[in-house]
Amino acid sequence: MAALSMIVFSGDYDRSMAAFTIANGAAGEGDKVSMFFTFWGLALLRAGNGPGPGGLQSLFKLMLPIGPDRLRLSRLNFLGLGPIMLRRLLGRKGGRDLSALIGMAIERGVNFVACRASMELLGLSREELLPAAHLRVGDVHEFLRAAKEADICLFI
């Protein structure tokens, strides 16, 4: 059994699909997988919207998408049309979209860690994130602990 660690930073739809495809592939091989979500990557874990923290924080929070279906492509985004077309194409080809890939990762026991510093910066509370049992809040040392144990570590 190997171990894999990832930092999900970008929050782009396509890069996140790559992250979860790798995570699910490894978890399917029986590997231990840990994903650390920071900055824009926190968008993937948002399940709802709590009260605005006010001021500048509210502005950043407002700009952070809620959940995977609102993410943009890293290119060919076309003001949001790109991800919609990609999801449609995935549907026709029998592929999984990002939302389904995240669900699969939860089923396969992939560990999610939400970056505490990013959450505080944006004014996000734990209640606004996915209710997944495998999701907890942690700091950079939590990431480093998983990364040092890992055979593969990726920044995405």
Q: Which is nearer to a copy of itself, 67 or 131 (CB)?
A: 67
The candidate with the shortest Cα–Cα distance to 97, out of 24, 7, 5, is 24
Rounded-to-integer distance, Cα 21 and Cα 40, Å: 19
Reduced to 3 states, what is the DSSP secondary structure of residue 123? coil
Write the DSSP symbol of residue 46: B
Rounded-to-integer distance, Cα 63 and Cα 89, Å: 27
Q: Which of residues 6-65 bind a copy of itself (CB under 8 A)?
A: 7, 9-11, 14-15, 17-18, 21-22, 25-26, 29, 31, 38-40, 56-57, 59-60, 63
CB 58 within 8 A of CB 135: no
Minimal distance, residue 47 CB to a copy of itself, in Å: 21
Rounded-to-integer distance, Cα 64 and Cα 28, Å: 31
Near a copy of itself by CB under 8 A: residue from 48, 49, 80, 88: 88
Q: Which is nearer to a copy of itself, 40 or 112 (CB)?
A: 40
Chain positions contacting a copy of itself, by CB under 8 A: 2, 7, 9-11, 14-15, 17-18, 21-22, 25-26, 29, 31, 38-40, 56-57, 59-60, 63, 74-76, 85-86, 88-90, 92-93, 95, 117, 120-121, 139-141, 143-144, 147-148, 150-156
